[in-house]
Structure 1
Amino acid sequence: MSIAPFREIARSSLDQLSKVRQIIFVRVHQMADDSDLLILSIKEDNELPDAVRISFRESLRLADKLVRDIIEEALLL
């Protein structure tokens, strides 16, 4: 999963609500466009090779943090 779109959204000049909307849009499209990612997101990833699993989980953690930060900023407004 690419976290680049989430970074771009976080750095953009959009207002917080627009950032949240963009994140939802990007995430839905990532899932719809990448069936392998969808399957991994639904199933256990324990069967992946160690290096792939570690990389996949790190990408998810980074994306989740970016999303949480944007939502927290929106809630502070």
Structure 2
Amino acid sequence: MRKSNGGFSLNAPRMLTFAASLALVLAAGLSLRYHLPVGQGFVAAHRFWLAVGGYALLALGVVLPFL
């Protein structure tokens, strides 16, 4: 990572990283209201961790230039 003025340089995430993050967060959010027949209830059982994983993926996409 390049440092400029003592800080980190941030990058825009790639479109694939953004889309994967959006899909995880949307699946977690929609499972609160609707029954999603994905993974035999996996999304409903683990919706909190899917949302956390989606936002963590987006944060990594901003910090790491290759993601």
Q: Same fold (TM over 0.5)?
A: no
TM-score norm. by structure 2 comes to 0.38
Q: Per residue, is there more strand in 1 or in 2? A: 2
Q: Per residue, is there more helix in 1 or in 2? A: 1
